[in-house]
């Protein structure tokens, strides 16, 4: 019986120690998005910042934006009652009246456009409590390495969507229509001379015929005059 009691006490102490040491490691800031894709627009990003302080509730969350996102790209969507968003030089803060002890800070922001070539986005976050203690979740996890003690929340992104080209498909250049030029046969000098020679021969023939007719007419007239009258 005593052995069972001792075993129970040892187990209870071990459980308390495990929870005590594991508590800070589990108190992460989680991030998610409705459109976790590079180049996406009007993306709603949700944050859940655990509050690990046993003495005071969270009153402020400060975020440093990743490269490719500016404070002007961010707008407030929702959060704890009465909390507001204030833009800073490198990010923004969300804060208001202190929450209950251990109550996590859940809020949403809208980002105009995510970087087109990014594969992941790290949002370094500092949670400040009502007693001004702070948890700094600012260490960037490295792939293949153990998770750092205070990792920054990282949003994994899918590759950017492929935008179809608006240009019409290329086609072979149209074959230029052959230029049809009417061909005019040039009259060569030899042809002109030949044509002129034919015309002259025709006139000469007519002249000979006229001369023969005139000769015959004259001969007939002279014979008629030479005939004696009865």
More confident residue, 92 or 14: 92
Mean pLDDT over 102-128 rounds to 98
Minimal CA–CA distance to 91: which of 105, 78, 77, 73?
A: 73
Residue with tokens 């009007």: 42
More confident residue, 178 or 149: 149
Hey, how many other C-beta atoms are within 10 angstroms of the C-beta on 120?
14
pLDDT, residue 213, reads 74
Contacts of 72 (CB under 8 A, 6+ apart): 87, 112
Q: pLDDT tens for residues 51-68?
A: 999 999 999 999 999 999
pLDDT at 209: 76
Q: Rounded mean pLDDT of the chain?
A: 80
More confident residue, 172 or 122: 122
What's the pLDDT tens digit per position in 191-212? 444 444 555 566 666 666 767 6
The answer on pLDDT for 182 being more than 80 is: no
Distances (CA, A) of 67 to 64, 86, 89, 117, 157: 9, 19, 13, 11, 14
The pLDDT score that the predictor gives to residue 25 is: 42
Q: What are residue 126's phi and psi, to 5 degrees?
A: -125, 125
Q: What is the pTM of this model?
A: 0.62
């Amino acid at each position: 019986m005593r052995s069972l009691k001792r075993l129970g006490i040892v187990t209870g102490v071990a459980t308390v120690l495990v929870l005590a040491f594991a508590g800070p490691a589990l108190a992460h800031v989680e991030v998610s998005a409705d459109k976790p894709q590079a180049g996406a627009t009007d993306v709603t990003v949700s944050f859940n910042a655990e509050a690990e302080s046993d003495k005071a509730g969270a009153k402020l969350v400060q975020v440093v934006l990743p490269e490719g996102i500016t404070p002007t790209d961010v707008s407030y969507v929702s959060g704890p009652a009465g909390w507001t968003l204030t833009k800073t030089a490198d990010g923004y803060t969300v804060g208001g009246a202190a929450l209950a002890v251990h109550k996590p800070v859940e809020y949403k922001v809208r980002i105009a456009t995510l970087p087109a070539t990014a594969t992941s986005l790290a949002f370094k976050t500092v949670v400040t409590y009502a007693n001004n203690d702070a948890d700094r979740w600012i260490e960037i996890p490295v792939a293949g390495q153990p998770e750092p003690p205070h990792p920054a929340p990282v949003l994994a992104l899918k590759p950017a969507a492929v935008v179809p080209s608006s240009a019409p498909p290329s086609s072979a250049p149209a074959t230029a229509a052959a230029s049809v030029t009417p061909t005019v046969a040039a009259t060569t000098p030899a042809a002109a001379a030949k044509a002129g020679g034919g015309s002259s021969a025709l006139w000469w023939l007519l002249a000979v015929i006229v001369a023969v007719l005139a000769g015959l007419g004259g001969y007939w007239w002279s014979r008629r005059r030479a005939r004696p009258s009865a």
